[in-house]
C-alpha cells in the first residue's frame, strides 16, 4: 500500500506541476484574445484538477489505512508483550504508564505516520521538480526562492531546538494525569468517606497544571513558525511579481513582455509550490519530537527482555508432588529476602496449609510456585522436575490458583468460571459442579443463572461472591495442583466450613496448598507450614505445632480470644 501511495503521489505531483504551465498558456492566449484556446486549455486544466482531486482522495485513504493498521499492530504487540511478561519485568512500568503507552503514545505515532507518508514522497519530488522548472526563468527568481527557503528552514530549526525538551516531557506528564485518574476512580469510596474530594482535586489540578504549562510553552515556541512561513511565502510571490514588473517595464518588445508576464505567473506558482512543500516538512518536524518520544516509550515496553527462560518439558518425572529445596528469594530492589531457606514436600492427596503473620512470605511461596518469579537460591520442583524446565503452557496447565483479591472480568459468570485456553474441553456440568463445591449458589438467584453478566472487576458483586467465583474457576480447571491464596478471607465461617467439607471430598487425589490467616482453615491440613519473617518456624500437624511451635500457639490463642 505504501508503494501504491508513492505512485499515486508521483502522479499527483506531476499533474500539479502541469497547472502552472496551463496558467501560462491560458494567460498568453487571453492576452492575445484567443478565446477558443482559452476555453480548450481551461477545460484541460479542469480535467487535470479533477484527477488531482481523485488522487488526493486515494492518497488520503491509503495513508489513513496504513497508519491506523500500524497503530493497531503496535497496540496488539504492546498488549501481548505486557500480557506475557513475568511480574518482575512488568512491574517496571506502572499501570497508568502502560495505558498511556498503549493509547496516547500510539496515537501520536499514528498521526505522525499519516503525515509522514505523504510528505516523504510528495515534498522532495515537488521541490526538486519545481526548482528545475523555476531555473528556466530569470536567475533572480531562483535566488529569491532559495533565500526564502533558507529562512524558513532556519525558523523551523530554531523552533525545534527550543521546543524539543518540553515536547519530550508531554507523555510523562500525561502518565501523571492517568495515575491521578486511576487512583481517584479506584479509591472513590475512601475519598468520599474521608471528605477528601478537595485534597484529591488539588492533586489532580497540580498534575493538570504542569501538563498545561508544558503544552503552552511548546505552543508558544512553535506557533510563530506557521505565520512566519506564510508571510515568507507571500513576500516571495510579491518579490517575483515586483522583479517581473521591473523587467517588463524596461522592455521595448511588446510580444516578449507578454511572454515574460505569463512566465512570471507560472514561476510564482512554482515558488509557492516549493514553499508549500517546505511547509509540509515543517509540519512533519513539528510532530516529530512527540512521535519520537512516544515511539521510544513504546519501544521500552516491546524491547523489555523476559527475565524468565522456559524449557520445553510438558511432563514431570514422577506422579504428583510439589517440592521446595532450600529456596530463598529477594524481591528486586528489596533490602532483605522475602523467604529464606524454605524446604518442604507435598504429594498427591495431601494438603499443605501456610500460615504466619502479615509479611512473613506466604504469598511469595505461591508466586514462586506459579513462577511469577524465580528463586534467588534453591529449586522449586513440580512432579519431580524443576519448574524452569517446563514450557510456560505446561506449567500453567498443572496449577490452578484462587486469590484473595480475584480478577473478575466483564462478561457472564459462566465465562469467568470456565476460563482459559482449555475452556472448550469443559461442559456446563463442570461449571455447575465447581459452583456447588465453592458454595457459589448465589448464582442461581440471578434470573439468567450462570449467564448473568457481571461488570468489570465484578463491581456489582460482594467480596465474598467474587472469591467464590474465583474458587469455582480454579476447581473448574481440573488441575493436579490447587492453590487457595487466602481465597476465603471474605467468607463467613459457615460458608467456608461448607466449602472445606465439599472440597475435601472432591480433591482427595490432588495437591492442595492453602494460604490462610484463620486457624479453622488450616487445622485439618496434612502439613501446616508456619512462617515468620520469611523463615520456617514450624512444620507439622495441628496438634504437633500446638506442642512445639510458640508462634503457632500465639496465633491460636489470639484467634480464640477474638472469638470469645
Query: What per-residue confidence (pLDDT) applies to 468?
Result: 93
Helix (H, G, I), strand (E, B) or coil at 85: coil
Judged against a pLDDT cut of 90, whether residue 351 lies above it is answered with yes
Reading the block at residue 432, the C-alpha cell is 455447575
Query: What per-residue confidence (pLDDT) applies to 540?
Result: 93
| Range in 397-401, 412-416, 486-490 the model is least confident about | 486-490
Model confidence band, residue 284 (pLDDT cutoffs 50, 70, 90): confident
Helix (H, G, I), strand (E, B) or coil at 539: strand
Judged against a pLDDT cut of 60, whether residue 12 lies above it is answered with yes
Burial bucket for residue 389 (CB in 10 Å: 0-12, 13-18, 19+): middle
Measured distance between the N- and C-terminal CA atoms of the chain, rounded to whole angstroms: 76
Query: What per-residue confidence (pLDDT) applies to 256?
Result: 66
Query: Which H/E stretch holds residue 56?
Result: helix 35-84
Tell me what the mean pLDDT of segment 166-194 comes to: 78
Reading the block at residue 329, the C-alpha cell is 528469594
User: For the chain, which domains are there?
Assistant: 2-302 (1.20.1560.10), 321-563 (3.40.50.300)
User: What is the residue-wise DSSP string for 313-374?
Assistant: B-S-SSSSEEEEEEEEE--TT-SS-SEEEEEEEEETT-EEEEE-STTSSHHHHHHHHTTSS-
Helix (H, G, I), strand (E, B) or coil at 453: strand
Answer for the pair 455, 410: CB distance below 8 angstroms, yes or no.
Answer: yes
Q: What is the 3-state secondary structure (H, E, C) of 467-520?
A: HHHHHHHHHHCCCCEEEEECCCCCCCHHHHHHHHHHHHHHCCCCEEEEECCCHH
Query: What per-residue confidence (pLDDT) applies to 254?
Result: 61
| Helical segments of 224-337, H only | 225-249, 254-302
pLDDT, tens only, 524-558: 899 999 999 999 999 999 999 999 999 999 989 88
More confident of the two residues 316 and 262: 316
Judged against a pLDDT cut of 60, whether residue 564 lies above it is answered with no
Query: What per-residue confidence (pLDDT) applies to 157?
Result: 78
Reading the block at residue 243, the C-alpha cell is 522583479
Tell me what the mean pLDDT of segment 67-75 comes to: 93
Q: What is the 3-state secondary structure (H, E, C) of 368-390?
A: HHCCCCCCCEEEEEECCEEHHHE
Reading the block at residue 479, the C-alpha cell is 488441575
pLDDT, tens only, 464-480: 999 999 999 999 998 99
Model confidence band, residue 359 (pLDDT cutoffs 50, 70, 90): confident
Contacts of 538 (CB under 8 A, 6+ apart): 528, 529, 530, 545, 548, 549, 551, 552
Verdict on whether the full-model pTM lies above 0.85: no
More confident of the two residues 66 and 219: 66
Query: What per-residue confidence (pLDDT) applies to 365?
Result: 94
Average per-residue pLDDT in the chain?
85
Judged against a pLDDT cut of 60, whether residue 563 lies above it is answered with no
More confident of the two residues 142 and 15: 15
Query: Which H/E stretch holds residue 123?
Result: helix 104-134
Cα Rg of the chain, angstroms: 36
Q: Of all residues in the chain, what percent carry a pLDDT higher than 70?
A: 96
Query: What per-residue confidence (pLDDT) applies to 35?
Result: 82
CA dihedral in degrees (57, 62, 68, 74; nearest 10)? -160
Helix (H, G, I), strand (E, B) or coil at 399: strand
Query: What per-residue confidence (pLDDT) applies to 537?
Result: 93
Answer for the pair 495, 503: CB distance below 8 angstroms, yes or no.
Answer: no
Reading the block at residue 374, the C-alpha cell is 524465580
- Determine the distance from the C-alpha atom of residue 30 to the mean position of all C-alpha atoms in its chain, rounded to a whole number: 61
Tell me what the mean pLDDT of segment 196-223 comes to: 83
List phi, psi (to 5°) of 514: -120, 125
| Range in 143-147, 388-392, 553-557 the model is least confident about | 143-147
Query: What per-residue confidence (pLDDT) applies to 423?
Result: 78
Task: Give the count of beta carbons closer than 10 Å to the beta carbon of residue 114.
Answer: 20
Query: What per-residue confidence (pLDDT) applies to 138?
Result: 64
Amino acid at each position: 500500500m505504501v508503494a501504491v501511495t508513492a505512485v499515486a503521489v508521483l502522479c499527483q505531483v506531476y499533474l500539479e506541476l502541469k497547472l502552472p504551465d496551463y496558467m501560462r498558456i491560458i494567460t498568453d492566449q487571453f492576452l492575445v484574445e484567443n478565446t477558443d484556446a482559452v476555453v480548450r486549455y481551461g477545460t484541460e486544466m479542469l480535467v487535470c484538477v479533477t484527477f488531482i482531486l481523485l488522487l488526493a482522495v486515494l492518497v488520503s485513504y491509503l495513508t489513513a489505512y496504513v497508519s491506523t493498521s500500524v497503530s493497531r499492530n503496535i497496540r496488539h504487540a504492546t498488549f501481548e508483550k505486557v500480557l506475557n511478561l513475568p511480574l518482575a519485568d512488568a512491574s517496571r512500568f506502572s499501570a497508568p504508564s502502560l495505558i498511556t503507552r498503549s493509547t496516547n503514545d500510539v496515537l501520536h505515532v499514528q498521526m505522525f505516520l499519516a503525515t509522514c507518508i505523504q510528505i516523504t514522497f510528495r515534498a522532495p519530488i515537488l521541490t526538486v521538480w519545481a526548482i528545475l522548472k523555476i531555473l528556466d526563468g530569470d536567475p533572480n527568481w531562483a535566488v529569491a526562492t532559495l533565500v526564502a527557503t533558507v529562512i524558513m528552514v532556519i525558523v523551523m530549526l530554531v523552533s525545534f531546538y527550543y521546543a524539543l525538551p518540553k515536547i519530550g516531557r508531554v507523555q510523562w506528564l500525561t502518565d501523571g494525569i492517568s495515575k491521578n485518574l486511576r487512583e481517584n476512580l479506584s479509591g472513590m469510596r475512601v475519598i468520599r468517606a474521608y471528605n477528601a474530594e478537595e485534597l484529591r482535586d488539588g492533586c489532580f489540578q497540580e498534575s493538570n497544571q504542569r501538563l498545561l504549562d508544558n503544552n503552552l510553552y511548546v505552543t508558544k515556541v512553535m506557533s510563530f513558525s506557521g505565520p512566519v512561513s506564510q508571510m515568507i511565502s507571500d513576500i516571495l510571490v510579491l518579490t517575483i511579481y515586483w522583479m517581473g514588473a521591473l523587467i517588463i517595464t524596461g522592455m521595448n518588445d511588446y510580444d516578449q513582455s507578454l511572454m515574460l508576464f505569463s512566465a512570471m505567473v507560472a514561476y510564482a506558482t512554482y515558488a509557492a509550490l516549493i514553499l508549500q512543500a517546505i511547509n509540509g516538512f515543517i509540519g512533519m518536524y513539528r510532530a516529530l519530537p512527540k512521535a519520537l518520544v512516544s515511539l521510544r516509550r513504546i519501544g521500552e515496553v516491546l524491547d523489555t527482555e523476559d527475565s524468565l527462560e522456559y524449557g520445553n518439558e510438558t511432563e514431570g518425572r514422577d506422579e504428583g508432588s510439589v517440592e521446595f529445596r532450600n529456596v530463598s528469594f529477594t524481591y528486586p530492589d528489596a533490602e532483605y529476602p522475602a523467604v529464606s531457606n524454605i524446604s518442604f514436600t507435598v504429594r498427591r492427596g495431601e494438603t499443605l496449609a501456610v500460615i504466619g503473620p502479615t509479611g512473613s512470605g506466604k504469598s511469595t511461596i505461591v508466586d514462586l510456585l506459579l513462577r511469577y518469579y524465580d528463586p534467588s537460591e534453591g529449586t522449586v520442583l513440580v512432579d519431580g522436575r524443576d519448574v524452569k524446565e517446563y514450557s510456560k503452557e505446561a506449567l500453567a496447565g498443572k496449577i490452578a490458583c484462587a486469590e484473595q483479591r480475584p480478577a473478575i472480568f466483564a462478561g457472564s459468570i459462566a465465562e469467568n468460571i470456565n476460563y482459559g485456553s482449555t475452556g472448550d474441553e469443559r461442559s456446563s456440568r463442570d461449571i455447575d459442579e465447581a459452583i456447588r463445591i465453592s458454595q457459589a449458589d448465589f448464582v442461581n438467584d440471578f434470573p439468567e443463572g450462570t449467564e448473568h453478566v457481571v461488570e468489570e472487576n465484578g463491581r456489582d458483586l460482594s467480596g465474598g461472591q467474587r472469591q467464590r467465583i474465583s474458587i469455582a474457576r480454579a476447581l473448574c480447571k481440573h488441575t493436579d495442583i490447587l492453590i487457595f491464596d487466602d481465597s476465603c478471607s471474605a467468607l463467613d465461617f459457615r460458608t467456608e466450613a461448607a466449602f472445606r467439607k465439599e472440597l475435601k471430598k472432591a480433591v482427595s487425589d490432588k495437591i492442595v496448598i492453602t494460604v490462610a490467616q484463620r486457624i479453622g482453615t488450616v487445622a485439618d491440613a496434612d502439613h501446616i507450614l508456619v512462617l515468620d519473617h520469611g523463615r520456617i518456624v514450624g512444620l507439622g500437624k495441628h496438634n504437633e505445632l500446638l506442642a512445639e511451635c510458640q508462634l503457632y500457639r500465639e496465633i491460636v490463642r489470639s484467634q480464640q480470644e477474638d472469638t470469645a
